[in-house]
Amino acid sequence: MRLKGKLAWVTGAGSGIGEAAALALASEGAEIVLTGRTASKLERVAGLITKAGGNAHVQPADVMKSNAVQAVADFIKSGPGRVDILVNNAGLNVRARSWEQLTAAGVDEVLGGNLASAFYCVIAVLPMMRAQKDGVIIHTSSWAGRFTSPLSGPAYGAAKHGVVALSTHLNMEECVNGIRSTVFCPGEVATPILDGRPNPPSAELRAQMIQSADCGDLIRYIACLPPHLCLNEVVLSPTANRGYLAQREIKLA
């Protein structure tokens, strides 16, 4: 129970990486605030935490709206009164993602859901973390945030590269306040977001990918690091990295 007495706010907590992170942090004793757009999904995750003896608060919000994000932060400040861990995990992509298909509305949605939302959440928690002189912020970026690929599209790639830069700037400015920021760049993860791809991968392919529980376990490890350490960036991929395998086939052809 290394996180007992601490509070973790997890966005995108209704499924996938966010759900896994919430469960993993709760297993270490953290009190959890669950945020996402669908209350029923959050209630399900809260039920799992409660059943295991943990404590969870359901706070639905569209994190693409700064006032909705601030409302959750106000709830935390007026209730638990502190936030020790922010898992900045909310994200999305659009099906029409190539330059040939991309629209201005699609750009707004992808940048809002992945980059602006991350800024809003950081801005909301920084005052509490500065007052505590302590805090861990973990952002879910992507393999696409480090390596440009046509698979994810230009808007998503640009947004996730922006999340990497956001995290770096946090460490540059906020290390004096005891705040540590980690950007997590996973390769393909078997989560429901894959269903929104133009060509969703098969169940067989998904079984070879990173699993949500793998990400949750890694996020737990980062959150449990001692205050004098900052894990700046983690890049994780499946052993069966489809990008590498494709390059190998081209080389051998």
**Dist CA 188 CA 209 (whole Å):** 6
**Dist CA 107 CA 124 (whole Å):** 24
Strands in 53-171 per DSSP E: 56-58, 85-88, 135-140
Q: What is the DSSP string of 141-164?
A: --GGGTS--TTT-HHHHHHHHHHH
Residue 202: count of CB within 10 angstroms of its CB? 8
120 is annotated as an active-site residue: no
DSSP 173: H
Residue 108: count of CB within 10 angstroms of its CB? 13
Of 38, 41, 35, which is closest to residue 71 (Cα–Cα)?
Answer: 35
The three-class DSSP label of residue 140 is strand
Residue 113: count of CB within 10 angstroms of its CB? 23
**Dist CA 151 CA 71 (whole Å):** 35
Q: What is the DSSP string of 1-20?
A: -TTTT-EEEEESTTSHHHHH
Q: Which active-site residues does the annotation give?
A: 156
